[in-house]
Amino acid sequence: MTRINFSPSGKELYPIFHTNNDLERMHKVCSKTLTAAGLKQSDICAVTFGYHLFIAGLFYQGQLEAFGAKVIPLGPGESERAWKVINDYGVSVLISNPSFAVKLASKGLPTIRVLFVGGEPFSSVEGYAEKVREAFGRDITIIDSYSMALCMPVARSCQYESGLHIVDDFVYAEVVDPVTGLPVKPGEKGELVLTHLYKEAAPLLRYRTGDLTVIENKACSCGRSMTLPKGIIGRTDEMVKVKGVKFWPSQIGTILQGFSFATGNYRVVFKTKRGVDFVELFIEGSEYSSEDVEKLEHVLRRDTLVKFNEIIIVEKLEPGPRVVDERNTMPS
C-alpha cells in the first residue's frame, strides 16, 4: 500500500487505498487525457483545489507532475494572492471551480489558455461555458471532468469539447435504470455504474454511483467515443414518477444555473387536478423578461421531459422543502 486517502461519509471518514501500481496507472491514463486537452510539458499549471480530505488538489498535482508540466499548488481561496501568482509566473493552465475562475478572470488573466473546471455543475449548465469565456475575454479551451474519490478519473472532456469522454482504458461504465438495475438504451437517462478495469487495492465492481447521466457512443477526433454529453445532471435517489415520466427534481437546480435572473432556490409541487398530475414550479428570482420565462420553459421541457403546468417567479421563496408531493394527500 502506497497511499490512503479519506473521503467524508456522513460523520465518518471512508478510507480509499492505492498501491504504487494503482497510482502509476492512474497517472498514465490521465496523461492521455491531458494530451487530448492540448497540454504541453512546457505549460505552467496552477491548482486551486484543496489538498486535504478533498483530494482533488493532490489528484491534479500528481497527474500534472507525471505528465511533465510545472505545477503551482495554490489551494483554495485567497483570490488576490492567487491572481498575483498566476500573473507573476505566467501560468498557462488553471485548475479551478468555474465560479472561482470567473472571479479571478474578472481582474484579468491574460496568460491562461486552458481551464480545467470541476467541483460544480458545468457541462450540464446551459450557457456556463460562454459565461466563463466572456469573463476571460477570449476563446480559451475549457476542460470539464467527472471523478469521485473512489474512482479517479472517470471522464474528462478534450480540446474538441464534445462532452466528457469515459476513460475506458481505466474504468468500465454502464448506465442502468435506477429502479430495475437493467441497462438503458444509449441516450436515455439512468444511473452511472462503474467497474475498475485495473486496480489492485479495493477495486470497484459494478458500483452504483447514484449519479444521473446520459451516455452516448460517438467518435471524437481525440480518439475516444464513450461520452457523457452533459456530465452529471442529477441524483437518482430522488426520482419521482410524474405524468408517466421518470423525473429527477435536482435537474431543476442545474438548469436554473444557466439563467441569471434566478437565485437557484426553487420548489416544485406535485398535485392532482381532474385526476391527472399537475406540476407547479416556484422559482426565486427578479428582473426577468417574458423571453427569459419562455426559454426556461423550453429548457425544462427539453431536459426533463416534463411539462410544468405553472411556473411562478417570486422575489423571495419561503423556507421549506424543494419537493412537495401532494398527490396522495389531496382530493382529485
Domain with CATH 3.30.300.30 in the chain: 239-325
Residues 186, 215 contacting (CB under 8 angstroms): yes
Q: Is the pTM of this model over 0.95?
A: no
**What is d(CA 67, CA 25) in angstroms, rounded to the nearest whole number?**
12
pLDDT digits (tens, 9 = 90+) for 54-91: 789 999 999 999 999 999 999 988 899 999 999 999 99
The pLDDT assigned to 257 comes to 86
| pLDDT greater at residue 73 or residue 53 | 73
Q: Which fold has domain 3-236?
A: Rossmann fold (3.40.50)
For residues 123 and 143, is the Cβ–Cβ distance under 8 A?
no
What is the structure's pLDDT at 14? 84
Q: Is-contact 136 109, C-beta < 8 A? A: yes
CATH for 239-325, among 3.40.50.300, 3.40.190.10, 1.10.10.10, 3.30.300.30?
3.30.300.30
Q: From CA 25, how far away is CA 42, in angstroms rounded?
A: 23
CATH 3.40.50.12780 placement within the chain: 3-236
Fill in the amino acid letter for 95.
I
Question: Which tens digits make up the pLDDT trace of 286-305?
Answer: 988 989 999 999 999 988 88
End-to-end, the C-alpha distance of the chain in Å comes to 61
Percent of the chain at pLDDT above 70? 98
In this predicted model, what pLDDT tens digit does every residue of 23-35 receive, in sequence order?
999 999 999 999 9
The grid cell for 34 is 491531458
Amino acid at 241: K
- Please tell me the predicted confidence (pLDDT) of residue 10: 67
pLDDT higher than 80, residue 179: yes
pLDDT recorded at residue 47 = 97
- Which residue in 261, 258, 209 sits closest to 236, CA to CA? 209
Q: Any long-range contacts for 175-179 (C-beta under 8 Å, 24+ apart)? A: 175/213, 175/214, 175/215, 176/208, 178/212, 178/236, 178/237, 178/239, 179/239
Contacts of 117 (CB under 8 A, 6+ apart): 96, 97, 98, 101, 132, 142, 143, 144, 145
Evaluated on CA atoms 95, 96, 101, 104, the torsion sign reads negative
Give the span between the Cα atoms of 222 and 297, in whole angstroms: 35
CB 67 within 8 A of CB 45: no
For residue 252 the three cell numbers come to 431543476
β 310-314/276-285 pair status: parallel
Residue type, 217: N
pLDDT digits (tens, 9 = 90+) for 200-238: 999 999 999 999 999 999 999 999 999 999 899 888 877
Q: State mean pLDDT over 125-153.
A: 93
3-23 tens-digit pLDDT? 998 887 667 888 899 999 999
Q: What is the pLDDT of residues 237-255, one digit of tens each?
A: 777 888 877 788 888 988 9
Distance CA 170, CA 155 (A): 10
Residue 331 has pLDDT above 60, yes or no: no
The reported pLDDT for the residue numbered 332 is 45
Given a cut of 90, is residue 326 above it in pLDDT? Answer: no
